Amino acid sequence: MKVKICGITKIEDALYAVELGAWALGFIFYPKSPRYIEPKKVKEIIKELPKDIKTIGVFVNEKFDKMEEIAEITNISTFQLHGEENNETCQKLSKEVIKAFRFTNKKELEIIDNYVNDKEKNNILAFLIDAFNKDSYGGTGHRADWDLAQEVKKYGNLILAGGLNEKNISSAISIVKPWAVDLSSAVESDYGIKDHKKMKDFFEEINNDKNRN
């Protein structure tokens, strides 16, 4: 199972996540987030990472030119758009895109139709489903709607986020069967500061689940 650890702010946390087997690391470039990190710091962290690790810049309703500027500075591999960005923006960006949604009902799934109208030229790597919270764009620790998340798989790769931890990850994988999982607050001691024991426990549960199957 591919695992993305989001909200990285420290090199030691990034390296430990990679050591444990993380597929991707997420860096928050949304200034209002308590996990915000400056692009220059991300540049220094990425320099120390293996080349095959996905490095994902998370943006929320940011200006196109600003996103491209940050990508140039940091050398991230992937954009994650966590706001109301449209498909035109996704397709214009210079790197692959993870488009995040926070659905509250099945009717809203129709929004994804606007992002898969040209599969041959699609710049979207995956769709990420997170829990809806009117006060935050992510990292709340609230669980996403797994039934809605399953519906997203018919549109493309599904990354499941929202309230995942070592206690429910086996159920999430068994029920939703996502392409990848994403977590942040469940492995933190404070905003942007990862708890290495929690990270280790999570990856051990992932590996135990794989061995059981």
Catalytic residue among 13, 90, 130, 182: 130
90 part of the active site: no
Instruction: Report yes or no: 168 and 176 within 8 Å, Cβ to Cβ.
Output: no
* Cβ burial, residue 191 (10 Å; 0-12/13-18/19+): middle
Taking the alpha carbons of 100, 106, 108, 109 in that order, is the dihedral positive or negative? Answer: positive
Q: Which has the closest alpha carbon to 184: 209, 157, 159, 158?
A: 159
Instruction: Report yes or no: 28 and 7 within 8 Å, Cβ to Cβ.
Output: yes
Catalytic residue among 6, 13, 90, 182: 6
**Cβ of 20: how many Cβ atoms within 10 Å?**
18
Look at the block and give the residue holding tokens 């709340």. 140
* Residue type at 37 in one-letter notation: I
Q: Which has the closest alpha carbon to 191: 84, 37, 4?
A: 37
Catalytic residue numbers read: 6, 130
